[in-house]
Amino acid sequence: MNSKLNKNEDIENKIASNLAVIANESKIILTAIKDLEKKVSEGTITLVNAYDDFKGDLKDNIERIKNAEGLLPDSSPPRFQWTIAEIRDPITEALKKFEDSPSRDEISMKKWFNELADKFKSVHSISGKGYVLATFNEVVIKGRRPGWSIKLHEFLQRHLLLDPEDRKRVIEEINSRDDINALLDDGNDILYVIAGGVRRYLRGVGSLFLVFLLGFIIPWLINKQIIPITIPEGMSYTNLNIFYILCWVGFAIHIIMKSKDVRKENPCLDDILMWIHIKERGFITSAFAVIAGYIVLLGVGPLTWATAITSGFAVDSFGARIIRHYYSELEKAKKTLEEIKLESHSI
């Protein structure tokens, strides 16, 4: 069973790498055509004079596309079947057009270059989209914790997409699938890693609500002396629960104020529900910090509506700083460990 899975994985990796080669080489050819068009428009060269050098310079790139296309299997895993079937004819047509020899006049040459560009745009579009969508989880998501982000244009540039329409289609596709744990925010140029797929955006809110409900057992735990705190005389369960809710009101006020701050760390804060989904782990940690703050407040007092709201507001800010400091120290420790390993290998 394991050998079969490993074999399928090897085939998928091979297909992905060959699609990447096709996308990259077709991108180089398109860039060369664009650069040539610029030189022609500036009057520094003619298409007739540039033709032989153009074909000679790109001979190796064409050969690499041929080789990569030849390595694509006829029978492939489901996620690659449509891409491979779709790309065969465009590659054949593009290679045939490259081998054509147009008449040695500017009009024929211009027509040839335009048709060549159209053919390789199609090749690049199919291979680039296929590569990005098929390898997205392995290349981008694997090993990234929810909340991690990167500039979207950097990702798209790195993964070979040129055409704005291709970019738009890939963004729509990724944002519609629950098997891809990412949100592409094109308007703010950010790619986020999220938990549970973009359409499950209420998951983070649901998790917060469960933590909120959990806090209502605190008065019972205090009454049973599981939490060793003395409740002020005359304080009823109802009043304790009201003060607990006020702590969460402070927490909510802090989140809303942060989302309205013009210097906010991230544009996705405009959509608070989505932001809670993206930063689910951080919000849950802050929610437990609010509960901890409530318990401390019960122990040290004074317990008023103002101190309850202030506690929820301040604990979230304080908790966020602790979390950032923790991850910062963790990264430092990881870097130090890697340096020690490198030194031990060199001894």
pLDDT for 307-323, tens place per residue? 888 878 877 555 454 44
The residue ranking higher by pLDDT, 294 or 263, is 294
Sheet with 190-193: list strands edge to edge.
149-151, 190-193, 182-185
Q: How many CB atoms neighbour CB 188 within 10 A?
A: 11
What pLDDT score was predicted for residue 324?
A: 46
> In the structure, what pLDDT confidence band is assigned to residue 3 with cuts at 50, 70 and 90?
low
Q: What is the CA radius of gyration of the chain?
A: 29
Mean pLDDT of 138-152: 72
Strands in 47-167 per DSSP E: 149-151
| Percent of the chain clearing pLDDT 90 (strictly above) | 6
Report pLDDT for 67: 92
Residue 20 has pLDDT above 70, yes or no: yes
- Residues with Cβ within 8 Å of residue 91, at least 6 apart in sequence: 22, 65, 69, 123
Stretch among 40-44, 210-214, 231-235, 260-264 having the lowest mean pLDDT = 260-264
State the DSSP code for 108. Answer: H
**Burial of 148: CB neighbours in 10 Å, binned 0-12, 13-18, 19+:** middle
- Arithmetic mean of pLDDT, 184-199: 70
Q: Is the pLDDT of residue 344 over 50?
A: no
pLDDT value of residue 327: 42
Q: At which residue do the structure tokens 């398109």 appear?
A: 30
Q: Which residue did the predictor score with more confidence, 300 or 113?
A: 113
Specify the 3-state DSSP secondary structure of 228: coil
- Is 94 in contact with 116 (CB distance < 8 Å)? yes
Fold of 2-139: Four Helix Bundle (Hemerythrin (Met), subunit A) (1.20.120)
Domain ranges of the chain: 2-139, 201-346
pLDDT reported for residue 66: 92
Encoded tokens for 45: 């060269």
Q: Which of 7-11, 38-42, 323-327 has the lowest mean pLDDT?
A: 323-327
Q: By percentage, how much of the chain surpasses pLDDT 70?
A: 76
Closest C-alpha to 118, from 21, 22, 39, 30 = 30
**pLDDT-derived band of residue 280, with 50, 70 and 90 as boundaries?**
confident
Residue with the bigger pLDDT between 49 and 6: it is: 49
Euclidean distance between CA atoms 297 and 284, whole angstroms:
20
Check pLDDT > 70 for residue 291.
yes
Q: What is the mean pLDDT of residues 51-60?
A: 89
Is residue 212's pLDDT more than 70?
yes
Quick one: 173 exposed, middle or buried, by C-beta within 10 A (0-12, 13-18, 19+)?
A: middle
pLDDT at position 8 over 80 = no
Tell me, what's the pLDDT at 293?
Answer: 83
Mean pLDDT of 118-147: 78
Report whether pLDDT(253) > 70.
yes
Q: How is residue 139 annotated by DSSP?
A: I
Q: Say whether pLDDT at 140 is over 80.
A: no
For residue 232, cis peptide bond before it (omega within 30 degrees of 0): no
